[in-house]
């Protein structure tokens, strides 16, 4: 249980409502609600997987099943793709049309269809894909989540679907967890900024009236999902209460306040409480404290997990009552329409009150009204920008800005163009690996669906005609086991290296998603390490390309490479982007949005406590101490160089209500134009809880010509320097702070302690 102190500290309302109430919306909701039977209400609270409607071909809807699910059970929402794979915009629209027409005829209430559009319209075969969120975070450029969100919403609407299960904002603070690539890195501020931009781009600026080029978001997974103690997906997390409020809630809060209409709940548990049964978080923090009138949907079968997996409920009835009474509004069941009857039973025997039932139904109806589904259950509109070249250009530009140059000894990059290049490694010729999961299929299947895009190999062959030879050395085996490899070509690759001038070794991971992505060793696979070691023995210079969803440990092979680039999951244009970067046609500007760890027993985040560091044995709190990591958060090289000077802060003393104006000069001291992500950090030098060594408080991406100096300005509300104390309250404490940016630093003092009496600031 969350402690009584924390609960007490957080019971107040925030004083500002997350989504403004719209009288016309509310009137329409009431109008619909008052005509509904108990069975119809129960149906609105259930969401089923499309497989319950598929016929034997799995490519079409079975009319008898439609009669049963929509006609008889009156189910209010359907999700996912037929036959577990993406379909074209036309096929998807035709399928939704069939369901929607039935829903209007049988219930008179529109069905809401939802899809996992994760990095663009990633469940449409002809949709536009952008780099995964972890890549967008590496751009440190707010423009990219905006562009991706807009295209995602536009193309999803074009397929008659009004709801996306995006953006993902689980903090990627444990590299063992298989889903860190789905969100924007390890830092709460970066995550919150990028997720808010994506939310606004998907929904538009008026959450009460979502237009036909926008969609509803489902921000997920609320919350604390990304730090399971075991490192394995959907397993328990233990999170300090102050961290939960200060860090894990931060991106959700930002998105709720930006008008996010729905949120999906964390499948696992925090401090022993399955999140789906956590009334304090679901009803308390979100609905009461934020005055949020949106809709909470479960994740996949997570009500069943309350009794089948977590054993906090004895049976389905108890689990459904527990979830709905904790604050769940819609149950993603996903295969069992009988859930509707369970809800009916529970209302009849009083285990779910009429008031809670009506509140949940209102929230579902409000979403449908806000989306305009009653007026336009289907819409007749042209979408001329669907899969446009412009969306492709944006995806390419995002990929260029997201690939991170981590090492470039002797300026081996850019390549001169005269070298004989050996391209090798299991990731060299794989679109599946470039895209990762949630790409055409849940586990990723880009080679099957999108052969028109270039793999790394194809892009290098196009950029360096006649210069490229390919020997994979190690290959991924087709099939379900993404970790299965064939290393029988290793000898051939090493032999080919002898005839090359430079080796581009593309290693990393094959695609995966969720629980199947669990693994037991964060080290890069033994086969791939053996390949790199074998190649290095030839004495030929290695450019190591990391194409992976999480930072796999490479401490022993990194010294064997002259250059290292982490492309993460840059999607369909990622190969072209890499070829252009390696050739020097484009310049690198990505920076790591996570800490790249070096040792298995030292998996840290950049905002560690100095006492975690081995050099603090003398007892001094050394804010300049550096963890022994492979590469720190925020690290990334360029083909040019930047010098920072003149860090200025508008005032030396401050109080909680002040807004500090901070500026710093950044000069391009090299010979090429470049973009620089300017990162502003703070350190709290003395605090009542052990302070983090530093925290990111601002970032801006700027383009700078050679020889040019740009002044970068930040407006930093002093409240952003506050932390959540032991009593669960936000506090800014009197004392010294240090701001730092690009090696520059400035000291300043808070002159008065301030403790907020609202749960959020
Ligand atoms: C995932 C969610 C996803 C849902 C619906 C779950 O297994 O955890 O992220 O939105 O399935 O497909």
User: For position 165, which CATH number holds?
Assistant: 3.20.20.300
Q: What is the pLDDT of residues 388-438, one digit of tens each?
A: 999 999 999 999 999 999 999 999 999 999 999 999 999 999 999 999 999
172 and 222 Cβ atoms separated by less than 8 Å = no
pLDDT at residue 719, rounded to an integer = 98
Q: What pLDDT shows up at residue 305?
A: 98
Pocket test for ligand 1, best of 166, 300, 304, 437 (most atoms within 8 A of CB): 300
Where the chain has pLDDT below 50, the residues are: 1-10, 616-617
Q: Answer yes or no: are the C-beta atoms of 273 and 266 closer than 8 Å.
A: no
Together in a domain, 663 and 521:
no
CA distances from 741 to 373, 441, 712, 749 (A): 48, 42, 11, 18
Angle at 332 between CA 326 and CA 334, to 5 degrees: 140
Give the max Cα distance, the chain: 79
pLDDT tens readout for residues 621-661: 677 777 789 999 999 999 999 999 999 999 999 999 999 99
Residue of 596, 615, 614, 616 lying closest to 605 (CA atoms): 596
751: in domain:
yes
Q: Is the CB of 254 inside a 6 Å radius of any atom of ligand 1?
A: no
In a domain, 720, yes or no: yes
User: Which atom of ligand 1 lies at the shortest distance from residue 264's CA?
Assistant: 10
Residue 333 and residue 453 in one domain? no
Q: 299 an active-site residue?
A: yes
User: CATH code at 419?
Assistant: 3.40.50.1700
Looking at the structure, do residues 333 and 472 belong to the same domain, yes or no?
no
* Cβ of residue 165 lying under 6 Å from some atom of ligand 1: yes
Domain shared by 363 and 473, yes or no: no
pLDDT at 7: 44
Strand ranges (DSSP E) for 385-443?
A: 404-408, 421-424
- 47 Cα–ligand 1 center, Å: 12
**CATH value at residue 646:** 2.60.40.10
Cβ density class 389-402: b for 16+ within 10 Å, e for less: eebbebbbbbbbbb
Establish if 424 belongs to a structural domain: yes
Please report whether residue 673 resides in a domain.
yes
661 and 568 housed in the same domain: no
Indicate if 396 and 366 belong to the same structural domain: no
Span from the CA of 23 to the centroid of ligand 1 (angstroms): 33
Count of residues making up the chain: 761
For residue 104, is it within any domain? yes
- Number of other residues whose CB lies within 10 A of the CB of residue 68: 15
User: Distance between CA 38 and CA 338 in Å, rounded?
Assistant: 14
How many angstroms does the Cα of residue 40 sit away from the middle of ligand 1?
25
Do 409 and 347 share a domain, yes or no? Answer: no
- Residues 147, 282, single domain; the answer is yes
Ligand 1 pocket test, candidate residues 114, 116, 169, most atoms within 8 A of CB: 116
Number of domains in the chain: 3
Q: Which two tokens stand for residue 302?
A: 């997570």
pLDDT, position 624: 77
686 close to 626: Cβ distance less than 8 angstroms:
no
Q: Which two tokens stand for residue 86?
A: 């993406």
CB-based contacts of 659, cutoff 8 Å, min separation 6: 715, 716, 717, 718
Quick one: 141 and 96 in the same domain? yes
Atom 6, ligand 1: residue with shortest CA distance? 300
Q: Dihedrals φ, ψ of 355, to 5°?
A: -65, -45
Q: How far apart are CA 421 and CA 154, in angstroms?
A: 41
122 and 59 housed in the same domain: yes
User: Within this chain, do residues 365 and 501 fall inside the same structural domain, yes or no?
Assistant: no
Query: Does the CB atom of residue 299 touch ligand 1 within 6 A?
Result: yes
E strands, 286-335, where?
Answer: 295-297, 331-332
If asked whether residues 366 and 397 sit together in one domain, one would say no
What is the Å distance from ligand 1's center to 227 Cα?
Answer: 17
Which of 543, 565, 583 lies at the terminal end of a domain, its last residue?
583
Establish whether residue 514 lines the binding site of ligand 1, counting it when its CB lies within 6 angstroms of any ligand atom: yes
Whether 34 is covered by a domain: the verdict is no
Here the tokens at position 635 are 């690290």
**Dihedral of the CA atoms 33, 38, 43, 45 (nearest 10)?**
70
302 assigned to some structural domain: yes
| pLDDT for the residue 1 | 38
The answer to whether residue 36 is domain-embedded is no
Q: Which of 335, 370, 405 is the last residue of a domain?
A: 370
Domain end: 370, 400, 418, which one? 370
499 Cα–ligand 1 center, Å: 47
Q: Which of 174, 187, 233, 299 is catalytic?
A: 299
**Where are the strands (E) in 655-732, listed by range?**
659-668, 674-684, 695-704, 709-717, 723-724, 730-732
End-to-end CA distance of the chain: 24
Global confidence as pTM? 0.97
Domain that holds residue 737: 640-755
């Amino acid at each position: 249980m969350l402690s009584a102190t924390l609960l007490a500290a957080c019971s107040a309302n925030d004083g500002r409502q997350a989504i403004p109430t719209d009288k016309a919306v509310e009137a329409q909701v009431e109008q619909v609600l008052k005509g509904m039977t108990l069975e119809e209400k129960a149906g609105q609270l259930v969401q089923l997987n499309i497989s319950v409607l598929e016929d034997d071909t799995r490519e079409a809807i079975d009319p008898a099943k439609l009669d049963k699910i929509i006609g008889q059970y009156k189910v209010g929402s359907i999700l996912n793709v037929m036959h577990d794979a993406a379909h074209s915009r036309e096929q998807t629209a035709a399928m939704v049309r069939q369901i929607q027409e039935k829903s209007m005829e049988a219930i008179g209430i529109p069905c809401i269809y939802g899809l996992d559009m994760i990095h663009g319209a990633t469940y449409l075969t002809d949709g536009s894909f952008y780099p995964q969120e972890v890549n967008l975070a590496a751009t440190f450029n707010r423009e990219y989540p905006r562009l991706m969100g807009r295209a995602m919403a536009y193309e999803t609407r074009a397929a008659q679907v009004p709801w996306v299960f995006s953006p993902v904002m689980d903090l990627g603070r444990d590299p063992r967890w298989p889903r860190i690539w789905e969100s924007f890195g390890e830092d709460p501020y970066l995550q919150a900024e990028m997720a808010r931009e994506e939310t606004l781009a998907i929904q538009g600026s008026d959450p009460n009236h979502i237009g036909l080029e926008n969609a509803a978001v489902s921000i997920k997974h609320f919350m604390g999902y990304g730090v399971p103690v075991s490192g394995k997906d959907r397993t328990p997390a233990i999170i300090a209460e102050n961290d939960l409020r200060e860090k894990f809630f931060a991106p959700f809060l930002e998105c709720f306040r930006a008008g996010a209409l729905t949120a999906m709940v964390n499948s696992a548990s925090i401090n022993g409480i399955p999140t789906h049964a956590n009334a304090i978080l679901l009803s308390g923090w979100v609905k009461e404290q934020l005055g949020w009138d949106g809709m909470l949907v479960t994740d996949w079968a997570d009500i069943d997990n309350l009794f089948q997996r977590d054993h906090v409920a004895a049976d389905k009835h108890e689990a459904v009552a527990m979830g709905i009474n904790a604050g769940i509004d819609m149950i993603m069941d996903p295969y069992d329409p009988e859930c509707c009857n369970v809800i009916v039973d529970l209302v009849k025997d009083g285990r779910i009150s009429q008031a809670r039932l009506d509140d949940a139904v209102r929230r579902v109806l409000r979403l449908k009204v806000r989306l305009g589904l009653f007026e336009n259950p289907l819409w007749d509109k042209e979408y001329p920008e669907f899969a446009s070249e412009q969306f492709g250009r944006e995806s390419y530009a995002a990929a260029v800005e997201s690939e991170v140059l981590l090492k470039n000894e002797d300026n081996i990059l850019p390549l001169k163009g005269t070298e004989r290049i050996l391209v090798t490694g299991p990731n060299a010729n794989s679109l599946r690996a470039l895209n990762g999961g949630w790409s055409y299929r849940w586990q990723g299947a880009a080679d099957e669906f999108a052969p028109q895009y270039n793999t790394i190999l194809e892009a290098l062959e196009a950029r360096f005609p006649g210069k490229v030879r390919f020997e994979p050395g190690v290959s991924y085996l087709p099939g379900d086991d993404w970790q299965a490899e064939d290393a029988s070509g290793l000898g051939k690759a090493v032999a080919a290296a002898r005839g090359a001038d430079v080796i581009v070794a593309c290693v990393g991971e094959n695609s995966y998603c969720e629980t199947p992505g669990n693994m037991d060793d964060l080290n890069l696979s033994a086969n791939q390490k053996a390949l790199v070691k074998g190649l290095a023995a030839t004495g030929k210079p290695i450019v190591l390309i990391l194409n992976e969803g999480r930072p796999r440990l490479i401490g022993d092979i990194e010294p064997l490479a002259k250059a290292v680039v982490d492309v993460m999951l840059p999607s369909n244009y990622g190969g072209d982007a890499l070829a252009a970067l390696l050739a020097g046609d484009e310049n690198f500007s990505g920076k790591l949005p996570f800490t790249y760890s070096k040792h298995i027993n030292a998996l840290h985040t950049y905002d560690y406590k100095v006492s975690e560091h081995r050099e603090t044995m003398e007892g001094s709190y050394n804010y300049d101490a550096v963890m022994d990591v492979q590469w720190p958060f925020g690290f990334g090289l360029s083909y040019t160089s930047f010098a920072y000077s003149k860090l200025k802060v508008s005032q030396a003393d401050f109080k909680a209500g002040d807004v500090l104006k901070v500026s710093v000069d950044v000069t391009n001291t090299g010979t090429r134009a470049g973009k620089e992500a300017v990162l502003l950090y703070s350190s709290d030098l003395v605090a009542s809880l052990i302070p983090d060594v530093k925290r990111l408080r601002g970032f801006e991406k700027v383009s700078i010509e050679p020889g040019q100096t740009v002044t970068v300005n930040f407006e930093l509300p002093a409240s952003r320097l506050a932390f959540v104390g032991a009593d669960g309250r936000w506090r800014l404490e009197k004392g010294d702070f240090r701001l730092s940016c690009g090696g520059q630093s400035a000291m300043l003092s808070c002159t008065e302690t301030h403790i907020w009496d609202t749960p959020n600031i």
